[in-house]
Amino acid sequence: MNSWDDPSDEETPLSRLDWTLIGLYLVAALSGYILLHGIYRPENMDDAIFLSFAHNHVVRGMEGDLCFGATAGSGGYGGVTFFGKTFTYLYGYLLNFLGWTKGHAHLISTFIIFFAAITWVAILKQLGFSRRLTVFFGLALLIVEPFFSAANQARPDALVFLLATLALLCSVRGWFVAAGFLAAVSMEIHPVGIIAFLWATGAAIAMRWSAPQPKRFPGGTMGLQLALGVALGVLYYLALHHRNLAALSGAVSGGNVGGVYSILIEYFFKTKHYRHLPELALFLSCLLWFLGKRLYRTNRFIPAFILAAMAFATIIRRPSFMYMIYVYPALLLLVLWTFERSGRLRTIAILWLLYLLPQYAWVYAQNHDWNLSQYVAQVQQAVPSDKTPVVGRFNDWFAFMNRSFYGLDYGGDFRNLGLREFYLIEDDAYRQGKYPQMQAAIGSLYTSKEVSRFNGRGEMVVIKKFISCQTRTGDSAKSYFLQKTASVPWPLPSFLP
């Protein structure tokens, strides 16, 4: 069971049933991507956050988080000061050409995931897995949630996953310089790119163990080539981020806070309706069967990928189920291979499809009436088209990316912006007190008046103009501020007289 065996020993042509299942998977994948395009997670904050980084960097030439106030190491990306310029260059320049819409950004992610799926097919073929398993792995990768989710978001995960996958392909083909370079570039996009090193190293070791002695790669040569590739990747990183190296370690450690295996806990135990628990039961059952039968003696690649995935979940402690995309390939491969081993690969392929389709149908039923373009047009019409800054929800960024915009979840000290006036887009969540930090800040220092309102997807959206109480004059203004901020534990804004 490796790429040095004669493939004719185990390879059999795909049957009519196989082709039927392939057709069903393709129809399901295309239907899902078409019907859920733009509505899979309509209120996803990461779309606005990461695209604002790209827009600020590529269009405005700014590296920090201008719109949402996060700083690197505070638990988020914080702009592109330390990571992410490869992502912002690719998405930014493509969106300059296509147009800065959420839909276009999702299309870029979708094409990236499709390319990654094809690359995984090439990897498994190189490693000697059967044609049937290889095809079903690639098709399943398109529709299981971690990959489908990445394909329908503007997060950098799709691009990191692709580059890490390409690094793995280079590794299994013996192109170790390219593997090291691509792994380093994937880490420039985001620290989770460390999975590229784990995959490439694990696969290279498994290949050496599996190969006949005359065909093994010399370990020293392999290590030197990987080191050369990594060195080139480090030079690439330094070319992009050399000004900020002094604070790099603090930013990384500050942004990687959480428990061991927090990624797995978030995915299996904290997602809505506990919908991933059936997958956990399936993975554990297959793992116990794999170990009980001592199949690691037959297939060394699956243990290598599982160990790489567990090492990743140990190193990356930030609790985000989005990072499951880097763990899932090992688990998916384990399931498909064990079912193929028992002659039931088609069975699990059918069951997996039946498991996923109702979930995606439910998402469509919940969100099919959402239209971001319509909402953007509504809110642009409701907010006066002057140069006054706008404060709003994440989706509001898409309407006001070309003017000063700040999120209601602004991560920094909003008072330090020193805004004399701004428009605020108020929704039900704001009226219910779900933005306490923002409400405490502006409620003490500003007066407001309603400008307009409209109905947006079942809730009343109110546009208010907030004006600094500085409009009062002389000592009365200062007295007013002292009175309003007496119980607020922060200094007065710098624009006080």
Residues 238, 326 within the same domain: yes
Single residue among 367, 390, 405 that ends a domain in this structure: 367
Residues 357, 376 within the same domain: no
Q: Which residues contact 337 (CB under 8 A, 6 or more apart)?
A: 129, 133, 299, 302
**What pLDDT sits at residue 54?**
96
Which residue would you say has higher pLDDT here, 101 or 471? 101
pLDDT digits (tens, 9 = 90+) for 306-362: 999 999 999 999 999 999 999 999 999 999 999 999 999 999 999 999 999 999 999
Report the amino acid identity of residue 376. V
Residue 492 lies in a domain: no
Residues 231, 245 within the same domain: yes
Report the percent of the chain where pLDDT is more than 90: 76
Residues 157, 183 within the same domain: yes
Q: pTM score, two decimals?
A: 0.90
- Answer yes or no: is pLDDT of 278 > 90: yes
Residue 489 lies in a domain: no
| Positive or negative: CA dihedral 133, 134, 138, 144 | positive
Residues 49, 63 within the same domain: yes
Dist. CA 49–CA 70, nearest whole Å: 10
Report the amino acid identity of residue 293. K
Residues 56, 88 within the same domain: yes
**What pLDDT sits at residue 12?**
77
The total number of structural domains in the chain stands at 2
Single residue among 334, 352, 367 that ends a domain in this structure: 367
Dist. CA 305–CA 328, nearest whole Å: 10
SS3 449: strand
Residues 359, 376 within the same domain: no
Residues 379, 317 within the same domain: no
Residue 396 lies in a domain: yes
Residue range 484-497: mean pLDDT, rounded: 34
pLDDT digits (tens, 9 = 90+) for 395-417: 999 999 999 999 999 988 899 99
Residue 390 lies in a domain: yes
Residue range of the domain that includes 220: 7-367
Which residue would you say has higher pLDDT here, 62 or 482? 62
Residues 317, 442 within the same domain: no
SS3 316: coil
Lookup: tokens for 436? 């306490």
Single residue among 332, 367, 402 that ends a domain in this structure: 367
Lookup: tokens for 434? 């779900």
